[in-house]
Amino acid sequence: MAGPLSHVRVLDLSRIMAGPWATQILADLGADVIKVERPVVGDDTRGWGPPFMEGPGGVRGDSGYFLSVNRGKRSVTIDLSKPEGRDIVRSLAAVTDIVVENYKVGALAKYGLAYEDLKAVNPRLIYASITGFGQTGPRRHQAAYDFMIQGMGGLMSVTGERDDLPGGGPQKVGVPIVDIMTGMYSAVAVLAAMARRDQTGEGDFIDIAMLDVQTAFLANQAMNYLVSGREPRRNGNSHPNIQPQDVYRCKDGHIVLAVGNDGQFAKFSEVIGTPELASDPRFALNAERVRNLPALAAIIREALVLEDMNHWVDRLDAAGVPCGPINTIPEVFKDPQVIERGMLRRIPHPLAGTVPQVVSPMRFRDAALAFETAPPLLGQHTAEVLQELGLADSEIDGLRERGVA
């Protein structure tokens, strides 16, 4: 495979979203990712639909959820509850650079597959454990899901319309953002551990907790509270620190306005026909615009509602003022910029012929990424991987007959 990690092998013992997102990033970068799944059942997300991919004759394939997070991997079915299955995992770990797992704390230790167990067969192993709450603390043994952590981690307290307005109240983000960010942090962590291993020759154990991740990416909202003592509140689409940044109604729809500095505000004021706003002491500086937002927002609303959305987008674009339409998902994939960047590809698939994939946004000039391997069918590569471990066809058939693989 192409990509800067084409020399790396990853043993993926994770399922659902956070772990698979991390390992898909590594697969996109060229790593050989071997995804271990339960025989017959597989990763839970294979059945998280509808919608499902459809094969010839209406045969139901995997869910869109599963297909979003498992590109570029090889699927091997192994029953970890059986000693022979655990032996296979240890054999794979011996020839692996990275293990990623998201079992409950202590679960893999019962199988002899914890970090210390696998380190004994591969001292250079990098082992990332992803859990809801981490390896320590009073909640370490509890399970967690993205929605739950969005609530516990404060994200929903600052997401959604104000409580006193129609539709007000806490809202989750429309994609599983905690899972995705946990996967991103996990991928960064294992790559950092690999860089250290290049210097020391030693592997490492990485402890990633979803609640830690959510706390970490509270970002400016966390610091707003920590430096002021004031609790951030839900405020709809309005930015807490930079204005004007909000959704505004036009004659035929809405636009997102994202003025980022005082110079852009001066240009914006000219475009909407009120150049005097840029010298008004209530609005000239960003800090004053934030303090006087109700008055400013009223002026902007009165101006923008007079013309169509395209009128404002064209004029603001020409003036260098960031703005844009609120696209639906279908509209995103029709956007000329998204098309030009090749973010949507179709990859050959053994069941459906091809499968659509929203590919990695990473671009390397000298190590181009290749998107050639679709999300695997359950157990699609079991025989292939076991043969690479040196097992004969008769041995593989025996494992299948005994329900191990």
| Every domain of the chain and the residues it spans | 9-216+339-401, 245-326
pLDDT tens digits for 368-397?
999 999 999 999 999 999 999 999 999 999
129 has which bridge partners? 101, 207
For residue 353, give the H/E element and its range: strand 353-358
Distances (CA, A) of 319 to 38, 136, 322: 56, 53, 9
79, 179, 212, 246: the catalytic one is 179
Residue 26 near residue 19 (C-beta atoms within 8 A): no
**What is 9-216+339-401's CATH superfamily?**
Crotonobetainyl-coa:carnitine coa-transferase; domain 1 (3.40.50.10540)
Res. 16: pLDDT tops 80: yes
pLDDT tens digits for 97-155?
999 999 999 999 999 999 999 999 999 999 999 999 999 999 999 999 999 999 999 99
Nearest to 187, CA basis, from 14, 331, 369: 14
Q: Cα(100)–Cα(13) distance, rounded to whole angstroms?
A: 6
Nearest to 78, CA basis, from 94, 63, 91, 61: 91
pLDDT tens digits for 165-208?
898 999 999 999 999 999 999 999 999 999 999 999 999 999 99
Is the dihedral angle over the CA atoms 72, 77, 81, 85 positive or is it negative?
A: negative
Considering the segment(s) 245-326 as one domain, its CATH architecture is 2-Layer Sandwich (3.30)
Q: Average model confidence (pLDDT) for the chain?
A: 96
Decide if 179 is catalytic. yes
Reported confidence tier of residue 211, pLDDT bands at 50, 70, 90: very high
Mean pLDDT across 251-267: 96
Reported confidence tier of residue 2, pLDDT bands at 50, 70, 90: confident
Mean pLDDT across 312-324: 96
Mean pLDDT across 5-26: 97
pLDDT tens digits for 269-289?
999 999 999 999 999 999 999
